[in-house]
Amino acid sequence: MCSPEAAPSALRMLAPGLNAYTLRFDPDLLKPLQAEFNHSVQPWLQSKPGQRALQGGRLLRQALPGRQYAVFSYNTYPLLWIAHHNAERMTLFQRLFRQLGLDLHLQTQVQPLHRVRFYAGFFVVGQQAPAALWHDDYAPAAPGYTLITPLYPLAPEHGHLLYKTADGQEAIYRYQSGEAVLIGAGLQHSTQPYAPSGQLRVLLSLTLGSDRLRDWPLLAPTIGRQARYFQLPCGHIRGQCLCRLWARFRRDLA
């Protein structure tokens, strides 16, 4: 029998009038990804190249040794977005997407043709945030969301999430175990700055949104940048999609 506590509750708006939400869930659902992080990513972070990457100062876009994961940074900012780099690794993140019931919860926001699409999953790792880097994840009105939740509880000195309320005030969302925040287009936000810490700050992120290929031009500047191996709105893997070709072929036949 399924206990009511285990069932994911509905979304709550982060603050009035914002395209951002929180979602409670059973933190035990993170266990497979915690094991995966410890086994497949942590050793690289402890290696010399990993330690150097955590210092920031360089743009990173490269596969990690073993090619199971790839690392991406926004310019020189010391925050590493570590994405699955093959189908097997991607499955672990996509399973969590299903378990969280995101297709059900985001129907109204995303208005998919059939179902809300999972695009990619990441470990977001850092140990310092020198300054606020305010940004919007998506182009205006892009039907995409970035889910973020702590993979491990943050240390007291770690930064949380700064965001702007509807009337432009700065506010803080505090990450907590068993709760995810979903960031949509239009939410100005930043990591809360924090001094170098001896402990890694490890968040888990999933990107998701529309299953309509026609929305891809709006989503591509975000989704197409952070990972090399990800799902397009149509559900095909980047570089393995023939949808546009088929559409043209059908038009030619008509």
Strand intervals (E) in 140-200: 144-150, 161-164, 170-173, 179-184, 189-191
Q: Counting contacts by CB under 5 A, is residue 243 touching Zn ion?
A: yes
* Lookup result for tokens 């945030």: 129
Of 56, 87, 223, nearest in space to 146 by CA: 223
Among 63, 113, 133, 234, binds Zn ion (CB under 5 A): 234
Query: Cβ of residue 178: shortest distance to Zn ion, in angstroms?
Result: 35
The rounded distance, in Å, linking the Cα atoms of 46 and 129 is: 19
Q: Of 68-76, 101-109, 118-126, 239-247, which segment contacts Zn ion by CB under 5 A?
A: 239-247
List the structure tokens of 123: 């470990």
Of 217, 35, 10, nearest in space to 100 by CA: 10
- Do the beta carbons of residue 153 and residue 107 sit within 8 Å? no
Q: How many CB atoms are located within 10 Å of the residue 96 CB?
A: 21
Give me the torsion for CA of 122, 123, 125, 131, rounded to 10°.
Answer: 30
Query: Cβ of residue 243: shortest distance to Zn ion, in angstroms?
Result: 3
Among 236, 247, 248, 249, binds Zn ion (CB under 5 A): 236
The rounded distance, in Å, linking the Cα atoms of 24 and 11 is: 8
Query: Cβ of residue 83: shortest distance to Zn ion, in angstroms?
Result: 19
Query: Cβ of residue 114: shortest distance to Zn ion, in angstroms?
Result: 13
Q: Which is nearer to Zn ion, 112 or 186 (CB)?
A: 112
Q: Counting contacts by CB under 5 A, is residue 220 touching Zn ion?
A: no
Q: Which is nearer to Zn ion, 60 or 110 (CB)?
A: 110
Among 29, 113, 132, 241, binds Zn ion (CB under 5 A): 241
Q: Of 5-13, 32-40, 50-58, 233-241, which segment contacts Zn ion by CB under 5 A?
A: 233-241
- Residue ranges in 43-72 that form contacts with Zn ion under rule CB under 5 A: none
The residue count for binding Zn ion (CB under 5 A) is 4
Residues at the contact surface with Zn ion, assessed by CB under 5 A: 234, 236, 241, 243
